[in-house]
Structure 1
């Protein structure tokens, strides 16, 4: 038995609201049809001007040969594991070193002026130097100075750390300075010291703000670890070059490129997801 409260009325949408819903449905259906039509048109243009040309068959033989790809995959994958090793160590070293540089640049007080200058010079220098030059300078210069052989993996990690710490440090510094000064003052009023204020109040907010650009730097670092082959390391690029010299075909480079793309896609999608989530959180309640 259903009980009804006296005077209770069932809510019915108005005629204007029904018109709005119908309009939204029509617009959604129209967008789907336009997307399908544009996709078909783009596919037809690609077929006429790219895939149906005489030059495409030559490109397919030189860059997309399945037989050569299968032949090259084991060696390229073995070299790719070395790239992953360099990347894994670099993520740790860059995170620690960049955080240290960012904190040095945000130190307050005249006594820390020389420290801030040194940190600023470091970030300016290594953000301006091309990564390949850093690889040459430290990859070949450091073993010469020390008069000892250093594994290419170690040299690659050093070069990646020096270069990307400058970029990441500036991102972290921007996040620290974006935290409102009232947050520091409130923390100090509660009796927290400088280090406790940084660890418990400032850094959590700063890192939350700069997570998307930090993840973009990580994606760039994923690509640049492919340059460690310059130091003599048999990574994915060097393995692809070796197989390509034997087969006179560029397909191994495409295989190496696909591996790097597959490595980057999860991070790219995670970055997009986190950025959208952060935007929704900041704009919550603002949509009328």
Structure 2
């Protein structure tokens, strides 16, 4: 404890000497950390942040459902399912390779153009996120399914369970425990990328911060929006660390003599 306290004090002194006690720190405070501007525009940025939360909440459900279907299609066995496996693999390759910004432009401006219909930004944002992140999550789920030992499937089939029953009752429960940490990391990435839906014209936290910055000639609103996203991510980060440590302790239980 003494060593930890001493090293913390040393780090604080170094930060004070190299960052705080410099000529440029006053300018940083004025243009990035102005409390008055933060309080003035907090309500508008918060209203935009609620839009981000709506997109995130809906996308979690749609991404999970689509990714589970794609992962299941990729794990189907037998030559008759070869075209289905190829189609699922092509989907994951396509949307894992496309930058999310390009998907947003294609979905947000391409679909309304070809259909000559105006869609709400929340619909287009959820669609773009679902198309992109279902490819990532599907690969994680597929890896978890294939990590389950084949003897588990054989034992389930020997007991008379069908393919769907084996997948739902035997394979997926074991796979979820293995893939929970990477799924949480994908969820963290999704939390950050919902801020890009401002490209579609939605007044979310990022767009509200942009408008506030243009009005105040100050970058503090961007810091406020960033803090909101960080506060949203911290519980998931801590939960991921806790669950990963728990899995590691469970796997290593009994290994120390």
TM-score higher than 0.5: yes
Say whether 1:135 aligns with 2:104.
yes
Q: Partner residue of 1:240?
A: 209
RMSD across aligned positions (CA): 0.6
Is 1:219 the counterpart of 2:203 in the alignment?
A: no
| Structure 1 residue 287: Cα displacement | 1.9
Matched, 1:204 2:176: no
| 2:90 counterpart of 1:121 | yes
**Aligned equivalents of 1:118 and 1:190: distance in 2?**
32
Q: What is residue 87 of structure 1 aligned with on the other side?
A: 56
Partner of 2:22: 53
5+ residue gaps, structure 2, are none
Task: Find the aligned partners of 2:155 and 2:97 in 1 and give their Cα distance.
Answer: 38
Q: Report 1:146-225 matches (<5 A).
A: 146-225=115-194
The offset of 1:34, in angstroms, is 2.0
Moved over 6 A (4+): none
Give the secondary structure class of the aligned counterpart of 1:124: helix
Larger Rg computed on CA atoms = 1
User: Hey, what does 1:99 align to over in structure 2?
Assistant: 68
Q: Output the CA distance in 2 between the equivalents of 1:72 and 1:178.
A: 49
Q: Deviations over 1:162-220 (max 9, x none)?
A: 00000000000000000000000000010101110001000110111100100110010
- How does the TM-score come out when normalised to structure 1? 0.88
How high is the TM-score relative to the length of structure 2?
A: 0.99
User: Tell me, which stretches of 5 or more residues in structure 1 are unaligned?
Assistant: 1-31
Match of residue 45 from structure 2:
76
Q: CA deviation at 1:258?
A: 0.4
